[in-house]
Every structure is written in C-alpha cells, then in structure tokens.
Amino acid sequence: MPPPPDHGSQPDIQPSAAVLSHLIEARQWERLLTMAKERIAQNVQDGPGHRSAAIALIQLRLGKEAKKHVDLLLQLDPENSYHYVLAAQVAIQLSAFHQARRLLDRGLALEPESPVLHRLMATVMAVEGRVKQASSHIAMAKKLDAGSVETWRTSEFVFRANSAIHGHWKERIKALENALLHDPEDPVVLWQVGTLLQELERNTAAEVWLSRSLAMDPTCSMVINDWKEACERKSFLYRCLSFPWRSLHSFRASFNATAQSKPWVLPFHLLAVKLWTVVFMWWLGTLIFLAPAGWLSRYFLLTHPAFDNRFLPRQWLQSHSKLARWMWMALAAVMGIILAMLVTSVEFISFLMVASVAMLALQAAATGGFILVRRTMSPPPPAHWLSH
C-alpha cells in the first residue's frame, strides 16, 4: 500500500504526513489509525488524516468504518484516482462488487495507466466470473509495473476464481513462484501458497506456509481459519469423522461452479446429493459414537493452544508424544463405551458400534479416495514448497 498523497496538508497539524507515511510503510495499522484520528480532531476535513484512517481501517478489515472516511475523501477531492482505489477496496470488503466496478471505472478514466486500479478491476472481474476481462486487466498491470508481487498474486487469484471448472493448477503455481521471487515474505503470497497446497492435499506443508503468513499478519481471521483447517486436515481420523458435513460444502461449491457452464452435469449432481442424503442420515444415526470420537480426536490430537477449550485445558498433553496421546484417546473411548453399556442394553450398543465402524470405514474410503484422485489429477507442487 503506497503512502497517502499529501494534497492539501497543513504544516501546523500534528502528527505530520511524513509520520503517517512511515507508519504505513511499517504496517503499524493501529498506531496509524490513532495518529490519523488526532489529525482529524484538529481539522475534520484533513485529507491526509482521512486517507490514513481509511488505509488503516481497510487493513484492519473494518470496511464499514473505512467507508465514512472514503466517502468524505471523494467529496473533498473527486479528481484523485487514489481515492477510488480506497473506495473500491472498501466496496470489495463489503462484497459490493458492482459498486467497486463503477468506482474503478471512474478511477481508470482519471488514470488509465494505474497498475493498482487494473489489479483491483481484475479482482472484481474474477469474482464476477468475467475471467477474460480479468486476464486483460492483469496483462495491462504486468505491462505497467513489470510484473510486481502485487500483480502476480492478483494473477493467481484470477486463476483461483476459475479453478473449480478449469483447474489452472500450473498457471497458479507459476504466478506464485514469480510472486515469491519478488517478495518471499509477503503475507498474502504465503497465504496463497498455503491454501493452494491445501487444495493439492499437501496439508503438512500447507500448515507451515499458513503459519508463516500468520506470523506476518496475526490479526487476519481468514488466515487463522485456513491455518486451523490445515491442522485439522493433517489428522486423517478427524477429517474422516467430519467427512459427511464437509462433503456438503464440496457439493455446493461444485454445483455452483458447473450449473451455468455445464448444465448436462446437473443430473449427476442431483444423484450425488441424493446419495449424500442417505449417507448423511446413516451418519446422524451413528453420531452417538462418531460425535464423541470426533471430539476426542480433536482434544487429543490437535494439541496446539489455538484449539484449546477454556473448560477443558490441555496443557498436560503438551509433554506427551503422539503415541501417548493416541493411547490416552483409546482409553477415554473404552471408558465411554463401558459407561454407555451401563445405561443401555449391550445389544443396542453393539449394533450402534457396528454401524459406526462401518460408517467410519466408508468415510475413510471416501476421504482416502478423494485425496488419491486429487494428488493424481493435479500437478505436483514445487519441491521447495514441501521442504520448508
């Protein structure tokens, strides 16, 4: 993010615009927001103050608050193309993509050779499914800035938005490789690599890359959630126990991706949903065992403090090996089965156990099959992505 243009600043207002620019370069968003508010308190129409506040709030993902500052900036200086960059970023955060496109059109009319505006337009076009138009804006951005890290990571996003239909694995890997050459510690690129590795079923490596991204940007909820998912996906047992529920999201994503481009696939999707419904009802019937098993696997196997529960602390597990944690989990499972036998009939418990084991075997086969197909059908990631 470039420092805000210092148009119309007043030398007697403190802190100075130079201080604000320094805070932007240092990515100290909370401090920047505090300083910007100090300037605005001295002059409610201070341009640098409102620009800095908008930048900080955008980076803190507080789009609704940033919108107030951006709207005022557009009133104060509607000929500044950078204000349309900020306004479009706010609109994207608020999922107002049509409005973002209109703002970017205005910005490009003022500065048609702005790579930032072309990158943002490519992002919006990709979200809207206009991949050809998005690609043309990416090509223009590469021409204007000689392929900066921002342009390469936007290029990956454009391919990502269309990957559900056409794959684009090699193109995405190439874009991220170029981005890493420009800036190997960019938190957005690290996140993109991590999530791509997740899609390629390389979850151990994905956790490493997402951890690096999280270290660079620890407040990003999106990175936190993706990192947690990578940790969960590393545990094959936990992933199998949650397979029916997660598969629903896969069906929905696949349905949305192919509904318009391949209508002949819809009957097969409907058949898959019907089969999933049968399996899901079976899964619900075995929840009396599978739900506790899922909880136990999460408690004993996902030992990072981020998965802690304040009611059931797990500090005592930190010093135990993985084998020891598996033994503790097995002991807890046996105790649970014995307790269940004390409150109901042995025959009923035996029936549920057989049904649960059969369901778990089915989920393991489906999960393992999906992983095998994905690894077979997709290209291998670069070796250095897996060696970190």
In this structure, of 23-27, 125-129, 317-321, the range with the lowest mean pLDDT score is 317-321
Threshold 0.85, pTM exceeds: no
So what's the pLDDT on residue 388? Answer: 61
pLDDT tens digit sequence for 9-31: 445 567 787 888 888 888 888 99
So what's the pLDDT on residue 119? Answer: 93
- Assess whether pLDDT exceeds 90 at residue 352: no
Which bin fits 61, alpha (ψ -120 to 50), beta or left (φ > 0)? left
User: pLDDT-based confidence at 318, cuts 50/70/90?
Assistant: confident
pLDDT tens digit sequence for 177-195: 999 998 999 999 999 999 9
Cα 230 → chain centroid: 11
Mean pLDDT value across the chain? 81
In this structure, of 115-124, 200-209, 318-327, the range with the lowest mean pLDDT score is 318-327
Alpha helix stretches (DSSP H) within 16-62? 17-25, 29-42, 47-59
So what's the pLDDT on residue 372? Answer: 87
Q: Is the Cβ–Cβ distance between 260 and 266 less than 8 Å?
A: no
Over range 60-89, report the average pLDDT. Answer: 92
pLDDT tens digit sequence for 245-257: 555 555 555 555 5
Q: Is the Cβ–Cβ distance between 56 and 29 less than 8 Å?
A: yes
- Assess whether pLDDT exceeds 60 at residue 1: no
Q: Is the Cβ–Cβ distance between 195 and 223 less than 8 Å?
A: no
Over range 229-236, report the average pLDDT. Answer: 83
